[in-house]
Amino acid sequence: MPVTLLPRLTLRYVQNSAGDYGFGSSDIFALAILQQWSTGRWGVGPQINFPATGGFGNTNWGYGLAGAVTQRALNDDLYLALLVQQTWSKTGTGATLASPLGINAIIVYQLGDGFYIGNGDYVINYDWYAQKFFIPFGIRLGKAFIDPGTTWNFYAEYSTSVYYDGWPGPVATHAFRLNGQFQIPVGI
């Protein structure tokens, strides 16, 4: 049985609280699609988090797993997905620590001609050590360029932090992001 491997590379160029720009929160994962049906699929695979530029996030490499399930509805105009990500990284002292668990619930509605609107690529995080949640919410407007062998996806997002009581890290009250993604499905 052939397995489709779906790698996704996400590079984010962001502005920090000091007003500077740099790379942060970038990653690659490769999902092996283990089951596919007429309107959806699910898969799991490895994930690698790249070190962020100093002042823009975690500056250590991270390694772990990602899993996702997707479902299309309303004549393919509505897309629902759930992506779960967990990585671990070594600190400067050599200790291995779990990164916060990432849970990304995605809702996208097709507007036509490749344009879409959705809730954004904002990840609900659970910090294992503080036992606290961080819940952002966003809205995305984007355009996908889909060819048989590749997909380019460009979008703009606005987000706000809905819940972050006791969250141990920095929290952006409001954020705006421009992003681009390149996806290549590969059969093995």
pLDDT in tens, 74-123: 999 999 999 999 999 988 788 899 999 999 999 999 999 999 999 987 89
The yes-or-no verdict on residue 183 having pLDDT over 80 is no
Domains in the chain, please, with CATH?
A: 4-187 (2.40.160.40)
Global confidence as pTM: 0.82
User: Taking phi first (over 0 means left), then psi (-120 to 50 degrees means alpha), and beta for anything else, what does residue 149 get?
Assistant: alpha
- Answer with the residue of higher pLDDT: 56 or 37: 37
The yes-or-no verdict on residue 63 having pLDDT over 80 is yes
